[in-house]
Amino acid sequence: MAIDLFESVTECGCAAKVPAQQLAGMLRGVDLPTSPAVLVGPDTLDDAGVYRLSDEQCLVQTVDFFPPVARDPEDYGRIAAANSLSDIFAMGARPLTALAIVCFPSRLVREGVLHAVTRGAAEKLREAGCVLLGGHSVLDPQAKFGLSVTGVIHPREVFTNAAARPGDVLFLTKPLGTGVTIMAIRAGMASTEQEQTANRSMASLNAKAAELARRCGAVCVTDITGFGLLGHAMQLARASNVALQINFEGAPLLDGAIGFAEQGLLSAAAYTNRDYVGDAVRFDDDVPLPARDMLFDPQTSGGLLICCPPNRVAELVTWAHEELSTTCGVVGRVVEATDGPLITVARRAIAAGGDGMQG
């Protein structure tokens, strides 16, 4: 009998994250061990940590796991692996090794579901040129799977979320809408094609997107996952001491996603993301509520948000259209910080290089 992993969970994918507001206060007052070798630590809420080994090499380390985000075990494994690897790519690094994190009900282990999940993850690790060294497993009533990934990079080549510069153009390399689409799938309201498209997008590696960021001269990159576009954009703005202008019509969307938002198919995480961003964002009056909801929608294995130098945007858009398998688009720009909101959201799309630039 076919397994539907959605039947075994209450939360799915990155929507299961601890709410960002609670997470933000978790380390407050804790005297953490540190070292001058730490180039990127927890203070900027970046995608991965960076530790200098020498003048020529740094370790880049991350860990990410979550409950099932797809019905099929192999799809779940592919998406979980792509999501874990994304943090390494978002730092501009090359993944080397991975350790599996497994929390699974004994029944699903006996029935071969964990084996299928691991097979899917191995496919993506192989594609990324990353080896699985082992891992750790525990029995758990609700399935969870992911990876701790280690990569390497030269100290001068690290991408961070703290290096945005006024004038940079914001480019998103995957469509938004995985949160509402997963809710629609679970409710039986999404088509097979919409489900398959979402799964393909989530399982797509961000390796090529990171390569394009490097090629266009970007130094500030972050990936968009459980805190939604606005949550991660706010973290970037704070870390870089800048402000952002977001234009909703430039944002690439999964097919049907805006319709699912109009029907109110939002996860609890979308509301906690809204609370997290709070007064840091101001919406123009003509931005409708479903559009606002899409910008708070928790993404699983989302795209990279690239701060592209303005004179390289046309090239980046061309390369992305030719080389990425996912839809993409110019979603805003970086501006000087003021006393006003960190992020302003307008409805109108930014034009770059003579067209609307949605890939």
Distance CA 326, CA 197 (A): 10
Tokens encoding 18:
């601890």
Instruction: Using alpha carbons, select from 9, 109, 93 the residue that is nearest to residue 51.
Output: 93
Four-point Cα dihedral 212, 214, 219, 220, nearest 10: 30
Distance CA 162, CA 237 (A): 8
Task: Please name the residue ranges forming H helices in 60-144.
Answer: 73-90, 106-110, 113-128
Q: Where are the beta strands (DSSP E) in 118-164?
A: 131-139, 144-153
The residues that bridge with 329 in the sheet, in sequence order, are: 172, 358
Angle value at C-alpha 302, between 333 and 319, nearest 5 degrees:
60
Strands, sheet with 343-346, edge to edge from the N-terminal-most edge strand? 220-223, 304-308, 169-172, 329-336, 242-247, 343-346, 281-283
Distance CA 230, CA 295 (A): 6
- Report helix, strand or coil for 352: strand
Distance CA 347, CA 292 (A): 10
Distance CA 185, CA 194 (A): 9
The catalytic residues are 14
Contacts of 276 (CB under 8 A, 6+ apart): 19, 20, 21, 24, 227, 231, 234
